[in-house]
Amino acid sequence: MGLLYSLKLRKAQSKIKSCECGFLYYLARACILSAFLILCTLNAVFSQVSLLDKVISIPKQNTTLYEALNLISQKADCLFIYESETIESDKRVKLHADNEPLLTVLDNLLSNPSLEYKVLGKHILICKAKAEALPESKIQPGNLLKDSIRTIIIRGHIYDRENKAAIPFATAGIIEENIGTVTNSDGLFTLKIPSTLIGTSLVVSHLGYMSQSIPARLLNEQQVDFYLDRRVISIQEVIIRYIDPNVLIEKAMDQRKVNNALDPAYLTAFYREGVRKNNKYISYSEAVFKIYKSPYTAGERADQVKLLKSRKIQDSNPRDTVFLKLKAGVQAAQQLDIVKFIPGFLDQSPPVEYTYKYSDLVSYNAKDAYAVTFVQKTDLKKPLYTGTVYIEKDGFALLGADFEINPAYLDLAAENLVLKKSSRLIVKLEKITYSVSYLPFNSRYYLSHVRCDIQVKTRLKNHLSSDNFYTFLELATCNIDTAGVIKFPRQEILKPGIVFSDQPYNASDAFWGDFNTIAPEAKLSEALSKIIGKIEKIE
């Protein structure tokens, strides 16, 4: 018994020592791991601080502040973020650096103590210092935000770096979450994202430009300018061989089963339309829809639209109105989904009505794409389309298209577009253009943005003067959800003939809440301010 007890005791002691050794081993590993994480954190902070301590040299020169910051950006290998009006980017400055820290160079260049620098990675935000910020603390890496903030608002303009021209219909959003919007004709956008996405990056992109990724943490409560560099396709990326444009079109249509959604999804989309007579807006409408987007294989009537919020203003009389067949507004926007509602220029079944030409290899929303131009065959005397379709180089996904009704046959198109007019009124179509684009989400492409612009000239018989009408419709997908997607109850579906409910117009963001929208253009905003409060009731 004594020997058995002794053996059991030794085994127990052995287990205790083993546990102690194991505990000490894991404790040591935990300490080493903690020390490593602390060093990584300190390294990240010091790397941000060291960016402004980086020594650079630049020959003495007189230039604009905009060009000076571009030159400093190249020398210091960093990217500046700022709003042009805040720093007066067009003013002339003297630039000179002789082995000086970047912080000193910026202070001498800007000469404005009210500005501060926020550094994250290689990005440096130049902005006005807040009242509560300490004057001596110019470097604020990260600028951590409280989790209690529910929504982050990011505002900015997107410009061409080469000529500083605004880039309309550029995309801005959080790619991995598929939350985004597009710029208006002035290159302006406003994006609202949940505060939980503060650690993500905003990506801005457009056809023919290099995309740009900026930490969202730097952009909260800021309005900044983004300058995109033009994308030049290197000769190594171009395969020197004959590319059959017809084969590209066929391949793109065949690859829909791989590139486009085979399951339904919910799209939260912002929609707007407007009518302008001469230089005066007489009608403007906005809405947010939740769309049950059926697979491209489903029937044309399988999609459903649910109205979430809307507003509409009217400042016209019956004599101003020219009725155009826009297929009930949002319905027309839905039918611009050319992956599902296949237009003639994508239909390769005989008889083929179009002549195709491989145009170029371009950058389309940061993806290399084949540009294929198309025009109706010369022997066809009817109003068809002319334009360009963009097909992804590697996966042959249909990325988008820009097209218009053939200008040579616009008069014939008027017969189908003008639904109702006075017998004394002469209507002449001037131009009808369309734009469609798609963006990926979870390895599938979804409708991202559509726009239609129509220009019409009207004249009363026996009158010399005429009126110019311009109308547009636009839809932008702001969010995609693929979980638990079911059809809407019948009573919630928007009826085909009714687009907007009777809601008062409110110029503030509070009306839309957390919904993403497209900012009005400058001229449009000015026109709307004159007709606010004139509400049109929808029967």
Q: How far apart are the first and last CA of the chain?
A: 99
Residue 142: predicted pLDDT: 42
Rounded distance between C-alpha atoms, residue 337 and residue 196, angstroms: 32
Residue 532: predicted pLDDT: 56
Q: What is the DSSP string of 459-502?
A: EETT-S--EEEEEEEEEEEEEEE-SS--PPPGGGSPPTT-----
Confidence of residue 151 (pLDDT cuts 50, 70, 90): confident
Ramachandran angles phi, psi of 457, nearest 5°? -115, 130
70 Cβ contact list (under 8 Å, min separation 6) = 161
Determine the residue type at 14. S
* 181 alpha-carbon distance from chain centroid: 4
Residue 121: predicted pLDDT: 87
Strand runs labelled E in 316-417: 323-324, 354-364, 367-376, 385-392, 398-405
CB atoms within 10 A of CB 367: 18
Give CA angle at 237 (231, 241), nearest 5°.
125
| Residue 349: both structure tokens together | 């079944």
Q: Is the pLDDT of residue 143 over 60?
A: no
Per-residue pLDDT of 467-520, as tens digits, reads 888 889 999 999 999 999 999 999 998 875 554 433 444 556 677 888 898 888
Strand, coil or helix: what is 68? helix
Strand, coil or helix: what is 509? helix
Domain layout of the chain by residue ranges = 16-143, 235-531
Q: Is the pLDDT of residue 39 over 90?
A: no
Residue 310: predicted pLDDT: 84
Taking all residues of the chain, what is their mean pLDDT, rounded to a whole number?
80
Residue 329: predicted pLDDT: 72
Per-residue pLDDT of 297-307, as tens digits, reads 998 789 999 98
Ramachandran angles phi, psi of 537, nearest 5°? -80, 135
Per-residue pLDDT of 446-470, as tens digits, reads 999 999 999 988 888 888 888 888 8
* 264 alpha-carbon distance from chain centroid: 22
Instruction: Single out the residue of 403, 416, 422 nearest to residue 344, CA to CA.
Output: 403
141, 119 Cβ separation under 8 angstroms: yes
Pick the most confident of 123-127, 264-268, 279-283, 534-538: 264-268
Per-residue pLDDT of 219-264, as tens digits, reads 987 889 999 998 866 555 555 566 899 999 999 999 999 999 999 9
Residue 521: predicted pLDDT: 84
137 Cβ contact list (under 8 Å, min separation 6) = none
259, 444 Cβ separation under 8 angstroms: yes
Please state which CATH number belongs to domain 16-143.
3.55.50.30
221, 205 Cβ separation under 8 angstroms: no
Higher confidence at residue 238 or residue 349?
A: 349
Q: Is the pLDDT of residue 200 over 80?
A: yes
235 Cβ contact list (under 8 Å, min separation 6) = none
Count, residues in the chain: 539
pTM: 0.79
Confidence of residue 345 (pLDDT cuts 50, 70, 90): very high
Rounded distance between C-alpha atoms, residue 429 and residue 424, angstroms: 17
Residue 95: predicted pLDDT: 92
173, 179 Cβ separation under 8 angstroms: yes
Span 161-167, mean pLDDT?
92
